[in-house]
Amino acid sequence: MVRLEVVVVLIFVGVAFAQLDPDDIPSEWLPEQFPNPKRNPQACGLGNKYGYVCDPNLLLTEKQRLILDWLMEGLVKNDTKCPCSVWACEQKRQGYSVGIALVKKMKIPDRSRTVLDQAKVFAHYLQSTHWHYGRCEEDIVVLYSKEDEVLQFMAGKTAGAVLTNQVARAIGNHVGGHFREGGNLPYGLYDLGLLLRDVLNGNTMYALAPKAEALHGSAGSLTVFISTLIMTVLALFIVS
Ligand SMILES: *[C@@H]1O[C@H](CO)[C@@H](O)[C@H](O)[C@H]1NC(C)=O
């Protein structure tokens, strides 16, 4: 049933595909230059279909990209409940928005900034300003930069209440291997999408439950970020 729907979507979208000119596409990105799949799907490798995944350097195949996009569309349209005010939810019944930015490499404008800092800046800029999906901060941006080997989550306030730092870290732990050199990127992204769906529906699986020792950590410094800038740094696993 699920598979059938994917096929239908792919056939429909395949027709609308336009060529991306590889010469025009940067391989290093500043967040301000990064396209918005809701505004400029062609630059994101989505053809003419407005969506949630932006993959300008084509890290995924067309088919993988469309399946991932379909998963994200399903999240907001079908698979999660509307977390906003009653009024907003009566106007438009949609759940959490998850945007995925796939980057070959980030351009780091300030030499003193680390890759991890830049990943946070990048994802936060997309989440809060440039993409800014959602109506009540119920949006999440997942940024993956291949050559920087970073995976970064950034959630608006409402989404961050569910996707806490600890949960995000646990998801990172779970899928991290797929994002490493020699891993399986599309599989990692699908897996991540499914875990997010569970978490956003309140099913924090036991595997993702925060471990007792994690609760001791430097909670003070993290809570500052949890509401607005939750971040996970899978990079902790990947970079070292
Ligand atoms: C949402 O659900 C409807 C009805 O079940 C289905 O036809 C549609 O394909 C789904 N859309 C997505 C993006 O999952």
Query: Separation of 186 CA from ligand 1 center, angstroms?
Result: 21
Query: Separation of 74 CA from ligand 1 center, angstroms?
Result: 7
User: Tokens representing 3?
Assistant: 């598979």
Average pLDDT for residues 42-49, to the nearest whole number?
A: 96
| Residue of 58, 152, 145 whose CA lies nearest to 105 | 145
Run of H or E residues at 155: strand 150-155
Which of 50, 78, 94 to probe ligand 1 with, by most ligand atoms within 8 A of CB?
Answer: 78
Residues near ligand 1 (Cβ within 6 A): 5, 70, 73-74, 77-78
Note the pLDDT of residue 21. Answer: 59
Does residue 7 surpass a pLDDT of 50? no
Q: Which of 60-74, 94-108, 110-124, 173-187 has the lowest mean pLDDT?
A: 173-187
Long-range own/partner contacts, residues 180-183 (CB < 8 A, 24 or more apart): 180/149, 180/238, 181/149
Q: For ligand 1, atom 5, which residue shows the shortest CA distance?
A: 78
pLDDT in tens, 66-101: 999 999 999 999 999 999 999 999 999 999 999 999
Q: Which of 171-180, 199-208, 224-233 has the lowest mean pLDDT?
A: 224-233
Run of H or E residues at 185: helix 185-200
Does residue 173 surpass a pLDDT of 60? yes
Average pLDDT for residues 149-160, to the nearest whole number?
A: 92
Q: For ligand 1, atom 12, which residue shows the shortest CA distance?
A: 74
Domains parsed from the chain with CATH numbers: 2-239 (3.10.310.50)
CA distance 183 to 196: 20
DSSP designation for 202: T
Which of 1, 3, 5, 8 to probe ligand 1 with, by most ligand atoms within 8 A of CB?
Answer: 5
Taking the model in full, what pTM does it have?
A: 0.79
Average pLDDT for residues 57-69, to the nearest whole number?
A: 95
Q: By 3-state DSSP, what share of the chain in percent is helix, strand and coil, each rounded to 5?
A: 50, 10, 40
What atom of ligand 1 comes closest to residue 5's alpha carbon?
9
Note the pLDDT of residue 22. Answer: 59
Note the pLDDT of residue 208. Answer: 56
Q: For ligand 1, atom 9, which residue shows the shortest CA distance?
A: 5
Question: Mean pLDDT for the chain?
Answer: 80
